[in-house]
Amino acid sequence: MTENNHLKPIAPFMILALFLMILGAVFGCLAGLEYVIPGYIKPYINFSQLRPMHVSAVLFWILLGANASVYAALSHLIPGVFSKLWMRIQWILWCIAIVGIFASYAGSRFGGREYWEFHPFWAIPIALSWVIFVVQVINAIRQIRPWPVYVWMWMTGSVFFLWIFAENYFWFFTGLREKAIVDMMVQWKVNGSIVGAWNQLIYGTAFYLMDRIQGQNTVGRSRLAFAMYFLGLFNLMFNWGHHLYTLPGITKVRYIGYIVSMTEWVFFAKIIHEWKISLSEAKDYYHLNSYKFVMASKLWLFLNMFTAILMSIPVLNLYTHGTHVTVAHAMGTTIGINTMILLGASFSFVQDDKKRTKEKTCLFWLLQISLLVFVLALLGAGICKGMWQMSDTSVSFNVMMRSLRPYFKMFLGAGFALLFCLLLIGSHLIKRWFALLTKDA
């Protein structure tokens, strides 16, 4: 049995994930046009529908892409370990949830919470599919001894995600809806923690890819990698505290959140320390598409971690909270880190790395430059809005928003450039995975 045969049951997950990545970019650009041409699409669909469509498509791209990458990696380590039947059931459950959620958005039927605005009913097939994923992963990793760091990350990330996703719906089963501040506190805590959970899956995939690219297992078994893993796990469990600075609550939670956030300086220092090593490696592996995307994620991790640390400082958080600075950080993380790693994984598994062309290299750099302009424009708009909301000025909200139009035009132009890049890269990978799916055993 060839490796390609091992990947056939995983292909539907990656194909669906890549399609959602493109769809999320399309919805994002359509929503972004509202900032420059207000009401242009109102006769057909509202911004209140477009925004959750964009957010959900991107969230599902990350989750399905992470599922597919972990499945593919473990299938490479232990061929034939997964049940094809249960994988098929899991994929069908995802399809049911996605179709139901987007149909609900199209009909303006909501009922959830921030970033998870669909009705709680549609969380059921997602939860069931994730239970299957957890069981499959645990059954697979039981056959690996000893566990490299990325196996630990996949295990803890998958289990923690299931718990936090359930916590996201505590409001539905308890009386939290009657306690606005507590309800908001739980939702913000969940949104902070759940990112840490899927980061475990995606960063674990990045560790695995580095071992795979270099043809060795030193990265996944080093003491430093395990030290970073435990620090990341600690942040997953407690880093959410800085999201609650602006809410009235227990002071100790704010202090804990601040202290934990500041431990990210350790990650920051490690990235700087390894940067010289990465540059020396680049000449050996730069021809690999998977390596380029993983290295790009490292650069974006550096930039976004610096932004996150600054945002975690209470006095600065007062200015950035609720502004486009938060959006810039979220987009930099989602596209710059998560998407780059998942695209690198997708390239690696379909063995497309040896085909280096000038067009692909230009497209890669256009993607990075467009994202940089996109993030800088959002940061500029967010800083201006933060200064306005913390000042005693008599300038109205409408006047302030009109003053931000140059930034909005800049991020909209960069957004369409991002859409162009992701459309070409995504469609190419979809073709590769579809060819693998339809290839005879």
- Residue 125 CA neighbour count, 13 Å, CB half: 17
The Cβ of residue 198 has, within 10 Å, a number of other Cβ atoms equal to 22
- Mean predicted confidence (pLDDT) in 404-428: 94
Q: Compute, in degrees rounded to 10, the torsion defined by CA atoms 28, 29, 33, 39.
A: -60
- Cβ atoms of 82 and 72 closer than 8 Å: no
| Confidence at residue 1, expressed as pLDDT on a 0 to 100 scale | 38
pTM (two decimals): 0.89
- Cβ atoms of 122 and 93 closer than 8 Å: no
What would the pLDDT profile of 54-64 be if each residue is shown by its tens digit? 999 999 999 99
Higher pLDDT pick, 122 / 114? 122
Which pLDDT band, with edges at 50, 70 and 90, does 210 fall under?
A: confident
| Confidence at residue 246, expressed as pLDDT on a 0 to 100 scale | 65
Higher pLDDT pick, 218 / 333? 333
| Confidence at residue 265, expressed as pLDDT on a 0 to 100 scale | 55
In this model, does residue 29 exceed pLDDT 50?
A: yes
3-state helix, strand, coil in the chain (%, to 5): 80, 0, 20
| Confidence at residue 184, expressed as pLDDT on a 0 to 100 scale | 76
- Residue 144 CA neighbour count, 13 Å, CB half: 21
Span between the terminal Cα atoms of the chain, in Å = 8
- Mean predicted confidence (pLDDT) in 299-317: 78
